[in-house]
Amino acid sequence: MRVLIIEDEPRLARNIAQVLKTKAALVVDTCLNGTDGLHLALTNPYDLVILDLILPDMDGLGILKSLRDRGRRTPVLVLTARNATEDVVRGLDLGCDDYVTKPFQLEELVARCRALIRRGYDRADPVLEVGELSIDTATHEVVCGGRPQRLPATEYRLLEYLAMRAGQVVPKRDIIEHLYGFESERFSNVVEVYVSMLRKRFGPKLISTLRGQGYVLTGAAS
């Protein structure tokens, strides 16, 4: 899952990014101004945008309105020092999905981010179940065929993303766009490599390949 942070305080942006990477296994892009942040949000398929309202070049609510006016349904969590009732109401009326005021607890922010991402995929339950596969998105515990395992970050992200889209054929391009940030190094067969790793770990029937179309998570254990 891929998140964009639009926050003009570099230290805060780094801290949030780090905790989301380590605690939630998310891919995170950061932007320190509104102009570039809006461009990134409009041109990349993010699973969540964390948006500060007070930015050096434009108001965060203007960014939110631009996203919604252009039909972008990406979940948006507003993160700001503004806590007046009218600011909260305006943000919600413009289409933000959650509103967190500074200062805040990082653990709570992580939990809210996970919930918003699940909501974006219409997955209310934090435990994703597909066939014999079970993924706890809060603890990252994966169980398949009764065997619990802890996965390396990239394998986990791929499996979670496929589970979020269970029942769908997921194109390779979608996987790459959701599992890698704009500063990440990518190689041509990266998806095939990690699909192969998951099949070796859980069995060859776990993920089906539809040639020329993409991948489908079956959740079948070997």
* End-to-end CA separation in angstroms for the chain: 26
Is the confidence at residue 210, as pLDDT, over 60?
yes
List all residues 6 or more positions away from 22 whose beta carbon is below 8 Å from its beta carbon: none
* Nearest one of 62, 57, 122 to 96, comparing CA atoms: 62
Is the confidence at residue 28, as pLDDT, over 80?
yes
Q: What is the pLDDT of residues 32-88, one digit of tens each?
A: 999 999 999 999 999 999 999 989 898 899 999 999 999 999 999 998 887 777 888
Predicted pLDDT at 185: 57
- Domains and their CATH numbers in the chain: 2-120 (3.40.50.2300), 127-217 (1.10.10.10)
* Nearest one of 119, 135, 155, 157 to 1, comparing CA atoms: 157
**How many C-beta atoms surround the C-beta of residue 221 within 10 A?**
16
**What are the backbone dihedrals phi and psi of residue 44, each rounded to the nearest 5 degrees, phi first?**
-130, 145
Q: What is the pLDDT of residues 142-196, one digit of tens each?
A: 999 888 988 999 999 999 999 999 989 999 999 998 887 765 555 668 899 999 9
Q: What is the pLDDT of residues 84-119, one digit of tens each?
A: 778 888 888 888 999 998 888 999 999 999 999 999
Q: What is the pLDDT of residues 192-202, one digit of tens each?
A: 999 999 999 99
Predicted pLDDT at 88: 82
Rounded to whole angstroms, the Cα distance separating 158 from 162 reads 6
* Residue predicted with more confidence, 14 or 95: 14
Predicted pLDDT at 199: 94
Percentage, residues of the chain above pLDDT 70: 96
194 touches 160 (CB < 8 A): no
Q: What is the pTM of this model?
A: 0.90
Q: At 170, which amino acid appears? A: V
